[in-house]
C-alpha cells in the first residue's frame, strides 16, 4: 500500500534489454518499463537514454510528480541495480 502511494508522488522509468530482464521483477509495481528489444518501446527508451546522455542499459530514472528528473541510475558505473534503486526509494520514503 505504501509503495503505491510512493509511486503516485514519483514516476519510475526503466529502460532495459533481455540481459537485464531480471531487474524488472525486483522494482516496485507501477514502474514504467521500456525495452530496447521492441519497436513500440524503442522510441521512448531512446528519448529517455538520450536525455540523460547515455546509451547503455539497464537505465533507471526517477521523476517527481511534476515530471522533473530527480535521480538517475546508470549502468556505466554499476549503479542501476534493484538493490540500489529500492534503497533509494526506501530512503526517499523516510523523508
Average pLDDT over residues 35-61: 95
Backbone angles phi, psi at 65, to 5 degrees: -70, -10
- Secondary structure of residue 74 in the 3-state scheme: coil
Structural domains in the chain plus CATH codes: 6-94 (3.40.30.10)
Could you give the CA distance from residue 6 to residue 28 in angstroms, rounded to a whole number?
A: 10
pTM for this model (two decimals)? 0.88
pLDDT above 60: residue 8: no
pLDDT at 94: 79
pLDDT at 5: 47
Residues of the chain with pLDDT > 70: what percent? Answer: 92
Amino acid at each position: 500500500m505504501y509503495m503505491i502511494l510512493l509511486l503516485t508522488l514519483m514516476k519510475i522509468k526503466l529502460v532495459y534489454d533481455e540481459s537485464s530482464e531480471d531487474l524488472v521483477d525486483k522494482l516496485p509495481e507501477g514502474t514504467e518499463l521500456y525495452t530496447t528489444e521492441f519497436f513500440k518501446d524503442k522510441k521512448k527508451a531512446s528519448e529517455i537514454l538520450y536525455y540523460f546522455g547515455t546509451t547503455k542499459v539497464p537505465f533507471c530514472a526517477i521523476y517527481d510528480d511534476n515530471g522533473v528528473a530527480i535521480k538517475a541510475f546508470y549502468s556505466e558505473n554499476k549503479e542501476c541495480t534493484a538493490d540500489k534503486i529500492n534503497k533509494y526509494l526506501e530512503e526517499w520514503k523516510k523523508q
